[in-house]
Structure 1
Amino acid sequence: MQSNVPALRKESRAVATGEYLTFKLGDEEYGMDILKVQEIRSYEQPTRIANAPDFIKGVVNLRGVIVPIVDLRIKLRCPTAEYNSFTVVIVLNVRNRVVGAVVDSVSDVLELSKDAVRPAPELNAGSVDTRFITGIGTIQDRMLILMDIEGLMSSAEMGLMDAAVAA
């Protein structure tokens, strides 16, 4: 019976089913693997790092751990990135590194079945980067863009992890 467990996990990852934390970036709703989420915190102004890209807002001290804060709204080119009472930081554990992701708001946790997830669209436009979209989830009248948050945060262009750790 134990031999079936790894096969089930492998299959569920391949079709992007499972539990997702849903969040908003602008008018769009996204989902990320709940297992990558360590905690959700209210937004606090981070300490700015000189010469960092615009999407890296700075760092915060989280119980003795210095955590880089990435504004996903800026990174994913949302039209606006306003900070208000709904703005939160999703603290992630990505490849044994703690990283914060700023989003407009967090909605809920949803479990998506295999039937509720469709493959990510294949777009030929050179300006559209779909590398970190694992699929599109639908539940009732909601459509979720499912993100590979681990792949995005550990990508070379983010510059948050050493090449050896990201590989």
Structure 2
Amino acid sequence: MSKSNVAPSRMQYLSFQLGGLEYGLDFSKVKECRVLKSLERFASEGEIISGVAVSRGVIMPIVDMRVAVAGSAPVAPPLTDVIILQLSNCVMGMVVDGVTDVVWLDATQIQAIPGAGAVEYLLGLGECDGRRLILVDIDRLMSIRRVGGKGAVQAA
């Protein structure tokens, strides 16, 4: 088996809260975490794309995941977190309810999510210190786009 086909035995995940649940994403995709108010933002806001911002000279779209999950964004408290992501094809910001911490998980701590087999961006359910994290493939999640009517999505 080639090295690229071997899953790492232990991975680091950034955990964050969104809509009352806790999620985790591959920490190697995270460039930095910023407070929403600290970003220089411009351009108009849309439904899920909450505008365009500049962070350390990089212009990037900001996706408000609170809108994607809840349907509408709550009023942003002063310390709302933005996770700046380096995806395979772009840099973007993702607004979440809050960043929790960084955790290490090995394969024995990750289980399949019952009934989520067809959802390609869900990697599994990680358990760490009594907490459960919904693990997401952030590249796949951010490549989903809306088509046609409300709620219809397809992979880009």
Range of TM-score over shorter length = 0.7 to 0.9
Q: What's the counterpart of residue 11 of structure 1?
A: 7
CA distance in 2 between partners of 1:92 and 1:75 (Å): 17
Shift of 1:4: 7.0
5+ residue gaps, structure 1: 159-165
Q: What's the counterpart of residue 130 of structure 1?
A: 119
TM-score (norm 1): 0.75
Partner SS state of residue 75, structure 1: helix
Given the alignment of the two structures, is residue 67 of structure 1 paired with residue 60 of structure 2, yes or no? yes
RMSD, matched Cα: 2.8
Q: What's the counterpart of residue 79 of structure 2?
A: 86
Shift of 1:18: 1.1
Deviations 1:109-135 (A, max 9, x none): 0001111100122259xxxx8332110
Q: Which stretch shifts more, 28-37 or 75-84? A: 75-84
Residue of 42, 48, 52 corresponding to 1:47: 42
Asked whether the equivalents of residues 64 and 73 of structure 2 are also in contact (C-alpha less than 8 Å), the reply is: no
CA distance in 2 between partners of 1:6 and 1:123 (Å): 25
Code of the residue aligned with 1:62 in structure 2: it is: S
Q: What's the counterpart of residue 56 of structure 1?
A: 49
Given the alignment of the two structures, is residue 100 of structure 1 paired with residue 119 of structure 2, yes or no? no
Shift of 1:78: 6.2
Asked whether the equivalents of residues 26 and 79 of structure 1 are also in contact (C-alpha less than 8 Å), the reply is: no
1:157 and 1:106, CA in 2 relative to 1: closer, same or farther beyond 3 A?
Answer: same
TM-score (norm 2): 0.80
Q: What's the counterpart of residue 137 of structure 2?
A: 148
Partner SS state of residue 144, structure 2: coil
CA distance in 1 between partners of 2:98 and 2:121 (Å): 20
Percent of residue pairs identical: 36
Figure out how many residues of one structure are paired with residues of the other and give that number. 147
Shift of 1:5: 4.5
Code of the residue aligned with 2:14 in structure 1: it is: L
Q: What's the counterpart of residue 152 of structure 2?
A: none
5+ residue gaps, structure 2: 148-154
Code of the residue aligned with 1:11 in structure 2: it is: A
Runs of 4+ in 1 over 3 A off after TM superposition: 3-7
CA distance in 1 between partners of 2:136 and 2:31 (Å): 17
Deviations 1:46-91 (A, max 9, x none): 32437x4x11100012233211000111112367533113311100
Asked whether the equivalents of residues 57 and 70 of structure 1 are also in contact (C-alpha less than 8 Å), the reply is: yes
The structure in which a higher percent of residues are strand is 2
Asked whether the equivalents of residues 94 and 154 of structure 1 are also in contact (C-alpha less than 8 Å), the reply is: no
Q: What's the counterpart of residue 161 of structure 1?
A: none
Q: What's the counterpart of residue 106 of structure 2?
A: 113
